[in-house]
Amino acid sequence: MTTTAAAAVLAAIRERRSVRKYTAEPVGREELLAVLDAGRWAPSGKNNQPWRFLVVTAGDPRRETLAGLTTYRPIVASAGALIVVLLDKSVMYNQVKDHQSAGAVIQNMLLAAHAMGLGAVWLGEILNREPEVLAALGLSPAAYELMAVIALGRPAAAGASSRKPLEDLMLEPI
């Protein structure tokens, strides 16, 4: 990797923020496919790739149902698209490892959205309503496990965040 490419990747990691407010401008199909494809390239144990995606766009009645299943209703209702990230139980081999791979998928998608000028946020609170979410999507809880819903769209407001100093996170100095 070139120094320029490494700098761009590291900058994207530092600059990406959760965006919770979107304009009414839609997210295009090609943009959605690019975000989904970035997720597809995440690492997984044994390369089992247990993740599955379901996209819910504006006008889909399931979006309103999903909005009613989270305290983040305004985010879900205003997003240009929602990407539901699931694990296919039939191909999972280790729950911890497969959950970790889902996190990598989500991070890849968030970074891709950021790189494309889209805003996105990882919604996890909706996991508290997993049985209802799966039912609303017509999915079997025997077949799928809900990992997250990613809301994305054109940013109407910038996200903000801060981080603890690295030394506060280290158990031992290096």
Distance, first Cα to last Cα, the chain:
25
| Per-residue tokens: 119 | 């805003």
1 vs 69, residue with greater confidence = 69
Q: Residue 159: pLDDT above 90?
A: no
How is domain 27-157 classified at the architecture level of CATH? 3-Layer(aba) Sandwich (3.40)
Q: Spell out the domain ranges in the chain.
A: 27-157
Average pLDDT over residues 56-67: 96
Give the span between the Cα atoms of 43 and 146, in whole angstroms.
Answer: 18
Are 154 and 79 within 8 A, CB to CB? no
pLDDT at 2 exceeding the cut of 90: no
Predicted TM-score of the model (pTM): 0.96
Across all residues in the chain, what is the average pLDDT? 96
Query: Tell me, what's the pLDDT at 118?
Result: 98
pLDDT at site 5: 92
CA gap 62, 129 in Å, rounded? 15
pLDDT tens sequence across 73-131 = 999 999 999 999 999 999 999 999 999 999 999 999 999 999 999 999 999 999 999 99
d(CA 2, CA 85) in angstroms, rounded, equals 32
pLDDT at 147: 98
**pLDDT score at 172:** 96
Q: Where are the beta strands (DSSP E) in 17-136?
A: 51-57, 81-88, 119-123
